[in-house]
Amino acid sequence: MKFTLKVMGTASAMPVTGRFQSAQVLDVHGRLFLIDCGEGVQLQMIRYGISPEKIESVFISHIHGDHLFGIFGLLSTMGMKRRTAPLDIFAPSNFGPILKFFLSYYGEGLSFDVRHHVLSMKEPETVFETKTFTISAFPLNHKIETFGFLFREKKPFLDVRKSAVDKYGLTLSEIGALKRGEDVVRRPGKDDKANFFNGFAKCSGTDSTLVIKASETAYLPYVSRSYAYCSDTAPFPRLADWVKGVDILYHETTYLEELSEQAARRHHSTTIQAAGCALKAGAGRLVIGHYSSRCSDPSLYEKECRTVFADTYAAHEGDVFDVPYVKLK
């Protein structure tokens, strides 16, 4: 099952040769989600082998242009490709008038519905859910209303060891209980007849109640994976708690540490602040981006971050970050 991040753009507000503005595609179990939609996002997706019409939903952190200016072209192309599936866009309320403008001037004959899901939460809140994963949104600390996103696989049901099935002659209902983490209790007199052919007598050997513990017979089949997107934001204490234990944390690093005063004025983060958040959150890896046009060398950002958080990677256009599927025994 895939859980893969593909970086489309790493620039902040000003254009820089070789850098595109904020956009990422996250593949979760084969379903594609676009996170932010900076200028040129269509070209980047085509360049890196991602079909724009296969995007299932779009998540817009805020309406500053470097996170949004690609949306008109993307919607138009989807229309020309005769998309029919609805497109869900999760974005702040001030995206509403922008979408209304597009639809009023360019939406005639659009072959699909565009559904705006308004983000307005003050605490992390689930906005999208399937049987196997959730997507939640949470507020960030920027000049205007801005949100981050956390993609997390649900904790899987337990698997029951085959040796336990054979040993106890488990029934389907008992296997179901153990998978839910519930102990199975077999009581003599009431259960011995029902369990005659599934090993009650041979396993208990006495008239006492038999307890088959889930902790001894069942196990997690794989490790749940997660990814958090945090751009743009000034640091604030609760953020690390909201993304606690995330496998990959993407955090903006618009400024090197020497420009910390400017970062504070513009409600952005420095390298050291982003790395501090990753450290406090206990993140597995830190991926950084949203670089200022003042600096042409992302390795300088990476070097500063690694003084605080060693497992830091400066993102480049086209980079792929995979959260591996770890199967447990």
Q: Which of 36, 66, 232, 247 does the annotation list as catalytic? A: 66
Structure tokens belonging to residue 313 = 């990677």
Please state the rounded mean pLDDT for residues 311-323. 97
**What local confidence, expressed as pLDDT, does residue 189 receive?**
62
Collapsed DSSP state (helix, strand, coil) of residue 175: helix
> What SS3 string covers 30-44?
CEEEEEEECCCHHHH
Cβ within 8 Å of residue 235, ≥6 positions away: 141, 269, 273, 276, 277
pLDDT at 195 exceeding the cut of 70: no
Q: At residue 201, does pLDDT exceed 70? A: no
Catalytic-residue membership of 66: yes
Of the pLDDT bands very low, low, confident and very high (cuts 50, 70, 90), residue 192 is very low
Q: Tens digit of pLDDT for each residue in 81-116?
A: 999 999 999 999 999 999 999 999 999 989 999 999
Tokens encoding 234: 């000034």
Of the options 3.40.50.720, 1.10.3720.10, 3.40.50.300, 3.60.15.10, the CATH number for the domain spanning 3-156+223-322: 3.60.15.10
Interatomic CA distance for residues 133 and 147, integer angstroms: 19
The one-letter code for the residue type at 45 is M
pTM of the model: 0.89
Q: Which residues contact 326 (CB under 8 A, 6 or more apart)?
A: 222, 223
Q: Say yes or no to pLDDT of 57 above 50.
A: yes
Is the pLDDT confidence value at 134 over 60? yes
Q: In whole angstroms, give the CA distance from residue 142 to residue 20.
A: 21
**Rounded mean pLDDT, 29-58:** 96
The residues spanned by each domain of the chain are: 3-156+223-322, 159-219
For the chain, the maximum distance between any two Cα atoms, rounded to a whole number of angstroms, is: 80
| Confidence check: pLDDT of 293 > 80 | yes
In contact, 229 and 251? CB cutoff 8 Å: no
Average pLDDT (176-193) is 80
Place 200 in a pLDDT band, splitting at 50, 70 and 90: very low
Query: CA 64, CA 121: separation in Å to the nearest integer?
Result: 19
In tens, the pLDDT along 244-271 reads 999 999 999 999 999 999 999 999 999 9
Of 324, 160, 124, nearest to 241 by C-alpha is 124
- What is the structure's pLDDT at 122? 97
- Mean pLDDT across 288-302: 95
* Percent over 70 (pLDDT), the chain: 94
Cβ-based neighbour number of residue 325 at 10 Å: 12
